[in-house]
Structure 1
Amino acid sequence: MGEAWKEAPVPPLRIGPLGWLRVGLRGLTLGSLTYGGLAILMLVRLVEQPLFGMARPWTPHITQTVCRLALRILRLPLKVEGTPMIEDGAVVANHASWLDIFVLNAAQRVYFVSKSEVAGWPGIGWLARATGTVFIARKGTEAKVQQHLFEERLRAGHRLLFFPEGTSTDAVRVLPFKSTLFAAFYTHGLERVMHIQPVTVIYHPPEGEDPRFYGWWGDMEFGPHLLKTLAQGRQGRVEVIHHAPVPVDAFENRKALALHCERVIRTTHPLAEAGE
């Protein structure tokens, strides 16, 4: 698959007076909700942690509520199909935008797996750490440390969610899945008790807009993309499809499991084939 799409031209940012008004109102409301929710979460965690340790029976509900309200503030309708898994294990999804964090948290209670650089991002890093994000390094030398961290969180009953594509896209394609992180499920007997649930995320652009409207890829900066989303009058919509969970030990190895998840997600994404 070629990667010319990464350099595809992006329409310039144009925001009118009414758009800037939306940016101000929605931005202020969204910021207050997000960091107000963070403050509440941290206060609850002060009680939750001594009582339950790594388990988090309360705070994920706060995260999910904040994300659902955030989508309402953005006026971005969310449609959820299928049922979140009840088995122990992890969730994998295609990755199109920073909006995936709100969308997937709103759809079910999960803990994201993110690249280590995110931990240092101003504002966003604080949110990620507080909500229990697992940070991983891309260096091969860190593989054993990451595997141990995965095991520890999985055995604590945390539902991890990661993006096997390894990067966000333009929202109209599904990239080949990398199998590296799937290796954690083939250690110390985890494969006999863990399941993986593939999840498809589909963004439908506002009427008349570029199909890539919600995509965030390549060298695109976060600020302009956020402004464009906040300024949009009539939004599009987003769908989340929960597919049937599969037992890890039904697949011979991590590559076979990764390929299965990729095929399930690709075949249910209406634009994926055209986007290749």
Structure 2
Amino acid sequence: MRLNARGWARLVALAAALLVALLLHGTWRLFRLRSPWPRRFLGWVARIVGARVRVVGTPLRRDAVLLANHVTWIDILALAGASGAAFVAKAELRDAPLVGWLCTLNNTLFVRRGDRMGIDAQVAALRDQLAGPQPVAIFPEGTTGDGVTLGPFKAGLLAALAPPPPGVRVQPVRIDYGAATHDVAWVGAEDGARHAKRVLNRRGTFVATLHFLTPFVPEGDRKAIAAAARAQIEAAW
């Protein structure tokens, strides 16, 4: 698939937004200030690719784990822009050109899926991350879905919340693309580059609704925490 005129215009806008965000981020860091620009840049990217983010509820801004359903890479853009969250991502993403570096600017926690021997270290890293100034977002389905059905939750990393660090809460998040779900969902064997081009080429805008559901203090083991969050998301489906 090739980019059409609309896709190229959006790509140019993305490059311009990146340049502005990097200049501003560098200025903030020069004065040893905490930079808001990585998450603001992600919010800009969401808008450039056509998303009009609608927030329902109140996102927690720190001392929180956000557990959300996963439909597409646009989820990351919308969630970061709305909540300022850092993310848990697969380790392979760290080596992706440009994208991996941008992830580090937003304090992404990289984990190796299926690494049962390293799970204790990953849990410890997540607990350390929760002591920082950002909430941490996890997509517990472990992969993108079709946006119509909710997959099972993988609870491994939630061992970091059993028991939870002092003051930390869990906030379930339901992500909904409404009528555009079929257009933006990243499912099956579709190549990532092809999916990105398909979104960039898409005509018009679409609404991405983020339902920030009722936060709760995690209780019980990791599976109980995952089940409690999933029940809220399913009820809001």
Alpha-carbon offset, residue 86 of structure 1: 5.0
Q: Calculate the TM-score normalised by the size of structure 2.
A: 0.91
Q: Pick from 110, 121, 141: which aligns with 2:117?
A: 141
**1:27 is the counterpart of 2:15:** no
Q: Pick from 127, 130, 143: which aligns with 1:167?
A: 143
Letter aligned with residue 137 of structure 2 = L
Kept in 1, the 8 Å contact 2:13–2:48? The answer is: yes
2:51 maps to which residue?
76
2:201 maps to which residue?
231
Cα distance in 1, alignment partners of residues 234 and 107 from structure 2: 28
Which digits, 9 at most, give the CA deviation of each residue in 1:219-269, with x for residues without a partner?
Answer: 211211111111111232210010111001xx2211111001111112212
Cα distance in 2, alignment partners of residues 99 and 86 from structure 1: 20
Kept in 2, the 8 Å contact 1:205–1:214? The answer is: no
Cα distance in 2, alignment partners of residues 28 and 177 from structure 1: 37
Cα distance in 2, alignment partners of residues 100 and 38 from structure 1: 22
Alpha-carbon offset, residue 76 of structure 1: 2.1
Partner SS state of residue 234, structure 2: helix
Q: Calculate the TM-score normalised by the size of structure 1.
A: 0.79
Alpha-carbon offset, residue 213 of structure 1: 1.3
Q: Pick from 112, 121, 130: which aligns with 2:87?
A: 112
User: Once superposed, what is the RMSD of the aligned Cα atoms?
Assistant: 2.0
| Contiguous gaps of at least 5 residues in structure 1 | 1-12, 49-56, 270-276
Cα distance in 1, alignment partners of residues 206 and 53 from structure 2: 10
1:199 maps to which residue?
173
2:190 maps to which residue?
220
**Which stretch of structure 1 is more off in the superposition, 173-182 or 152-161?**
152-161
Relative to structure 1, is the Cα distance of residues 38 and 158 closer, same or farther in structure 2, using a 3 angstrom cutoff? same
Tell me the number of residue pairs that the alignment of Structure 1 and Structure 2 aligns. Answer: 236
Cα distance in 2, alignment partners of residues 86 and 261 from structure 1: 18
Kept in 2, the 8 Å contact 1:81–1:240? The answer is: yes
Partner SS state of residue 212, structure 1: helix
1:131 maps to which residue?
106
Cα distance in 2, alignment partners of residues 116 and 20 from structure 1: 32
1:67 maps to which residue?
42
Kept in 2, the 8 Å contact 1:171–1:214? The answer is: no
Cα distance in 2, alignment partners of residues 148 and 64 from structure 1: 24
Kept in 2, the 8 Å contact 1:92–1:197? The answer is: yes
Instruction: Give % identity.
Output: 26
Relative to structure 1, is the Cα distance of residues 223 and 161 closer, same or farther in structure 2, using a 3 angstrom cutoff? same
Kept in 2, the 8 Å contact 1:194–1:247? The answer is: yes
Alpha-carbon offset, residue 173 of structure 1: 1.8
Which digits, 9 at most, give the CA deviation of each residue in 1:154-205, with x for residues without a partner?
Answer: 1234311111101111222211111111101125x62x53210001100123
2:224 maps to which residue?
256
Cα distance in 2, alignment partners of residues 27 and 174 from structure 1: 31
